[in-house]
Amino acid sequence: MKKLVVAALLVLAAIAGCAGGNDILGKGYIPKDYGFHKSTNYIKVYWNLKITARRAVADGFVEPFDHNHGIHNVKLELVGLDGDGNIVSSAKGAPEDEYIMSPSYQSPFEISLPLKGGEKSFTIRGSYRHFPTGNDTDLSQDKPGRIPLK
């Protein structure tokens, strides 16, 4: 009987170890480690920006704003702006995961933007869909959302 209990505890520990990974505890992305961020009522986007002579690279993650709404179909765009705020260049990307259910689910992204010249600043804009979560998650209630340029 003791062997059966020990075996059952080991199985439960293994399951808990798998479940305690990225989905429950997040992937270890810490917002304060990122120099830039934007948020709406439904999504938060955090990123760092590396600029070389030929390109700008945004490396970051997205997460839902709260536990009551999940997000999916996130589309991001790294935008290079001139001194007057006009778009000079842009590149598209998306986070790794299609469905991001709560803030404990973080999804990384990387967008590489070839520079055209004249870029003075950079930002991210995009779109997504959000839906209610909880015991009655219903994707038929999803709604569109936007991450504005400014």
Q: What is the pLDDT of residues 86-143, one digit of tens each?
A: 999 999 999 999 989 888 889 999 999 999 999 999 999 999 998 887 655 556 677 8
pLDDT at 21 over 90: no
CA angle 99, 100, 104 (to 5 degrees): 155
pLDDT at site 135: 57
Q: For 54-78, what is the mean pLDDT?
A: 93
**Residue 21 within any structural domain of the chain:** no
pTM: 0.78
**Would residue 4 count as lying in a domain?**
no
Q: Report pLDDT for 103.
A: 81
- Name the pLDDT band for 7 (thresholds 50, 70, 90): very low
Query: Domain tally for the chain?
Result: 1
Which CATH number goes with the domain that contains 49? 2.60.40.1480
Q: Name the residue range of residue 88's domain.
A: 29-147
Q: With 90 as the cut, is the pLDDT of residue 74 above it? A: yes
In a domain, residue 41? The reply is yes
